[in-house]
Amino acid sequence: MSQDQNKKLWGGRFQSATDSSVEAFTESVSFDRRLYAHDIAGSIAHARMLAQVGVLTAAERDDIVRGLTAIRAEIESGDFPWSETLEDVHMNIESRLTEKIGEAGKKLHTGRSRNDQVATDVRLYLRDGIDRASMLLLDAQSALVELAARETDTIMPGFTHLQVAQPITFGHHLLAWTEMFERDFQRMRELRRRVNVMPLGSAALAGTSYPIDRDFTAAELGFERPSRNSLDAVSDRDFAIEYLSAAALIHMHLSRMSEELVMWSSAQFDFIELGDAYCTGSSIMPQKKNPDIPELLRGKAGRACGNLMNMLTLMKSQPLAYNRDNQEDKVPLFDGMDTLEASLTIFAALVPEIAPKRDNMRNAALKGFSTATDLADYLVKKGLPFRDAHEVVGKAVALGVESGRDLAELPLQTLQGFSGLISDDVYDVLTLEGSVAARDHTGGTAPVQVKKAVEQARVRIDQYRNKL
């Protein structure tokens, strides 16, 4: 046996050394080393449990805890001798432990396998990531709510089919985005419960013959409970799929918001200005100020969906229980976590940089016959059936289109030509302010309702923050 092979923790039954190309192909330490803190936390809890049930002595446990704590410090100061030959983060740390503390180090792996170890590490790591993402979703919501609070009375056109539909307030539009993040936040909190289940104790696949106390270990690590089935626990990666699915959904939301920001900052819409610090220029066209951040956010949605597809395809058709395929879970999961956190962070920072051009927004709402529904409602209130009112207003709009005037610009006499029910109070409903103020109910765009919704959102977000 070569010297190299001696280093393998599993080398006992092997005659010849692993080919170096195989080492390079199978290693995961280059990307799973970021699990080190959670791997060490899991090992410490495991050692404490083994001592509790009498499999380790108290002295062995203390040596292990001290050794692992020292290793964590080594890693954090950059002094840890990472080795690709030792394959993954688990064997790097275990082998270093034995180097440092001797015999007791060799006992740490009693009653566990890397299969339950890695599933435990990833769940612990992801649990922290979910809490970070949850907080970032609250930050993004807060940023939107505070901007909405300043824009409760700002009028803009609301669109359907990207055609001017009815006037709305900008605050109301921003609170629509907030609702998307609110659902995303709920999804994160719900999936956290399914992540927070402990595989440790499942060992390789069938459990272990040592008298382990899994409730003890679960309590040490803050898991809600130990897993119920060892085969499922070592092979399940649903929790990663759920997170990546929630992340893809968040990116889909971000891409919708970003698309609107890109449109609004164009010369054609000219609804907003984005802060200089959050835009970039062109290397050839001196006049350009490009909305690169929203564009990149829009683009990241592709990456987020890709990570979800990667993970789903990785799991498809895998027989029970653990297979080495599972090692690949970390690539999309870690990238998914990094991408989501970066996207939400920059989005929350971008929102206060949105400067609305209120006059342009208002003028755009004046242009598209956006109060036509209000005129129809006016006629209905005067006794005309809605369908007839729709027809009457349609004719008035046709005249407006033909003569290049909005409804509010048509003289009373002209309007009365379409219906004798119209009198001079019609101009109250044809104004933008009258139109939005009339939508005065829960969920409506009236400024008073938007102010109320802002207050409710602030209270709700604060409550979530205090519980995280």
State in angstroms the smallest separation of the CB of 287 from ligand ARG: 51
H or E, element range at 384: none
Paired tokens of 27:
């290693």
Interface with ligand ARG by CB under 6 A: which range of 191-199, 246-254, 301-309, 319-327?
A: 319-327
Q: Rule CB under 6 A: choose which of 161, 193, 316, 324 binds ligand ARG.
A: 324
- Per CB under 6 A, 202 contacts ligand ARG: no
Please check whether residue 173 is in contact with residue 381, taking contact to mean a CB–CB distance below 8 angstroms.
no
Q: Is 282 one of the annotated active-site residues of the chain?
A: yes
DSSP assignment of 100-145 equals HHTHHHHTTTTT--HHHHHHHHHHHHHHHHHHHHHHHHHHHHHHHH
State in angstroms the smallest separation of the CB of 121 from ligand ARG: 9
Q: Which is nearer to ligand ARG, 88 or 184 (CB)?
A: 88
Catalytic site residue from 30, 282, 403, 423: 282
Q: Is 172 one of the annotated active-site residues of the chain?
A: no
Paired tokens of 11:
């080398």
Kindly state the number of chain residues that form the binding site for ligand ARG, as judged by CB under 6 A. Answer: 9
Q: Rule CB under 6 A: choose which of 40, 86, 101, 118 binds ligand ARG.
A: 118
Interface with ligand ARG by CB under 6 A: which range of 195-203, 323-331, 345-353, 450-458?
A: 323-331
Q: Which is nearer to ligand ARG, 32 or 220 (CB)?
A: 32
In angstroms, the CA 290 to CA 294 distance is 10
Q: Rule CB under 6 A: choose which of 18, 43, 92, 115 binds ligand ARG.
A: 115
- Per CB under 6 A, 327 contacts ligand ARG: yes
Q: Which is nearer to ligand ARG, 252 or 331 (CB)?
A: 331
Q: Which is nearer to ligand ARG, 258 or 326 (CB)?
A: 326
Interface with ligand ARG by CB under 6 A: which range of 51-59, 182-190, 320-328, 377-385?
A: 320-328
In angstroms, the CA 71 to CA 121 distance is 17
Q: Rule CB under 6 A: choose which of 92, 120, 265, 326 binds ligand ARG.
A: 326
H or E, element range at 356: strand 354-356
Interface with ligand ARG by CB under 6 A: which range of 111-119, 166-174, 264-272, 427-435?
A: 111-119
C-alpha distances in angstroms, 465 versus 176, 177, 196, 344, 347? Answer: 20, 19, 20, 16, 19
Please check whether residue 410 is in contact with residue 399, taking contact to mean a CB–CB distance below 8 angstroms.
yes
Paired tokens of 339:
């991408």
The residues, ordered by sequence, that sit 6+ positions from 29 with a Cβ below 8 Å of its Cβ are 82, 83, 84, 86, 87, 88, 89, 92
Determine the 3-state secondary structure of 349 from DSSP.
helix
Please check whether residue 380 is in contact with residue 390, taking contact to mean a CB–CB distance below 8 angstroms.
no
Q: Which is nearer to ligand ARG, 272 or 321 (CB)?
A: 321
- Per CB under 6 A, 95 contacts ligand ARG: no
Length of the chain: 468
- Per CB under 6 A, 114 contacts ligand ARG: yes
Peptide bond just before 247 cis, omega within 30 deg: no
State in angstroms the smallest separation of the CB of 316 from ligand ARG: 17
State in angstroms the smallest separation of the CB of 112 from ligand ARG: 11
Q: Is 414 exposed, middle or buried (0-12, 13-18, 19+ CB in 10 A)?
A: middle
- Per CB under 6 A, 116 contacts ligand ARG: no
State in angstroms the smallest separation of the CB of 115 from ligand ARG: 5
C-alpha distances in angstroms, 7 versus 2, 11, 74, 91, 187? Answer: 9, 8, 20, 10, 44
Binding site for ligand ARG (CB under 6 A): 28, 32, 88, 114-115, 118, 324, 326-327
Write out the catalytic residue numbers: 161, 282
